[in-house]
Amino acid sequence: MQVSAATIDRVLEAARLHIDGQRKRRNGVGSAIRRSIPVRTFADWRDPPPGFFEIDMVEHCGGVKTEGEFVHTLTMTDIASGWTECVAMRVRDQMLIIQAFEDVAAELPFTMLGVDSDNDSAFMSQSVFDYCKARGLEQTRSRAYKKNDQAWVEQKNGAVVRRLAGYGRLSGAEATKALALLYVSSRLYINFFQPSFKLKSKTRDGARVNKKYHPPATPCDRLLAHPDVGQDIKTRLISQFESLDPVRLLHQIRLAQQTLSDISASGPKTVTTAEPKSDVAVFLASLTTAWKDGEARPTHRKRTPATHWWRNVPDPFADAWPIIEGWLIAEPTVAASALMDRLVAMVPDAYAGKPQLRTLQRRVKAWRSQRVKEMVMGSLRKSAPAPIEV
């Protein structure tokens, strides 16, 4: 009864090796569907035409999972162009995933050809399997516990979903509606105006990995340059691009983020679908000074600054510091380099080559600062008038 969980894992390590390093999954309908869906790794994509998507689910649970329902985002990323679609779902449900496929297919400028997901039970379901088979979608899956097989969509989970929606907890219909409004504007801004890198090749030389990237381009630019995209699709993309205003889209994104931030902080509020009445000119004028205030996103996760009080490496002057302090008391103006020369001459085995000179300079600077503070504060205490006794 006193054994820890880590000890149990260590004892069972040899037993886990007999199952090929994989965890056992319970048998059922999901297991049968999972076995019938082929596995596709990151290296198997090669150079597919537009229409093959990696999909994943992002949970807006606010950090540690607790009881209750929370909003999910279905992220879909096209491999060829990087075109990204995000759909807000109130709960994790296979029927909502099918509805999301329908909504995304209606908005896409090209045809959806296939989906690649992880081994989530919501994707490995009979309803999703039958839908993909009926629509002619090629359904594949990644290996279990291998997130790098879905590197395209995993990158968008952080660069798009988390950067836009933040890490707060979202639950309920109002939060789902607010998140959906955010994605209405953000999908146009990201796919038409946000350039990104795309991996061109990756070679390994021993432990060194050399990566080459294509020039940065937006998903729209990649579709316009792709030979498998028809001329009618390119014409519609150009027409849609010319009708968009990036400043207005960014303004709408910031307003939607503010709504999400308020919901995450104080609960759901009424969300309207009307055009916001805030002046775009005021927002445009604020962009010239926004960089001075740092991160401008309302959903930005503010990290609590922590004082770094511990040492990462042992103190090289722990034993020699009493001697160094004696030298400083006798000669307060001596340079740290001269003190280092004395240490090298005294203990050549420990300080040969002077690799700790910068560390010694910082220690001497901190010692002198402390002595000055003691002298100033000591003189102030001496000059302070004595208290009057009543």
Taking alpha carbons only, the member of 92, 77, 223 closest to residue 155 is 77
pLDDT for position 273: 47
The confidence band for 29, taking pLDDT boundaries of 50, 70 and 90, is low
Task: Report domain extents, the chain.
Answer: 28-281, 321-373
Across residues 169-192, what is the average pLDDT?
94
Whole-number percent of the chain with pLDDT over 90: 56
Q: What predicted TM-score, i.e. pTM, was given to this entire model?
A: 0.68
> Does residue 74 or residue 62 have the better pLDDT?
74
Query: 99-124 pLDDT, tens per residue?
Result: 999 999 999 999 999 999 999 999 99
Q: Are strands 208-213 and 84-89 parallel, antiparallel or unpaired?
A: unpaired
Assigned token pair, 141 = 């899956």
Are 103 and 87 a contacting pair, CB within 8 Å?
Answer: yes
- Closest Cα to residue 49, out of 80, 84, 27? 80
Tens-place pLDDT, residues 271-316? 444 455 556 677 767 766 765 666 667 777 666 667 777 777 888 8
State which CATH number among 3.30.420.10, 3.40.630.10, 3.90.550.10, 3.40.630.30 fits the domain covering 28-281: 3.30.420.10
Angle separating helix axes 357-383 and 336-346, nearest 10 degrees: 120
DSSP assignment letter at 61? B
Residue type, 33: I
Please name the residue that has the structure tokens 């005021």: 282
Could you tell me the two tokens for 137?
Answer: 């979608």
Identity (one letter) of the amino acid at 55? I
Q: Tell me the per-residue pLDDT of 226-266, one tens digit each, with 9 for 90 and over.
A: 999 999 999 999 999 999 999 999 999 999 999 998 888 87
Average pLDDT of the segment spanning 18-29:
58
Residue among 137, 141, 101 nearest 119 (CA): 141
In angstroms, how far apart are the furthest CA atoms of the chain?
Answer: 96
Nearest-5° Cα angle at 105, 103 to 109: 125
The Cβ of residue 309 has, within 10 Å, a number of other Cβ atoms equal to: 5
- Sequence-ordered list of residues with C-beta below 8 angstroms from that of 72, at least 6 positions apart, any chain: 57, 58, 59, 60, 88, 89, 90, 91, 92
Tokens of 296: 């401008």
Q: Which residue in 75, 77, 79 sits closest to 50, CA to CA?
A: 79
Q: What's the first-to-final CA gap in the chain, in angstroms?
A: 67
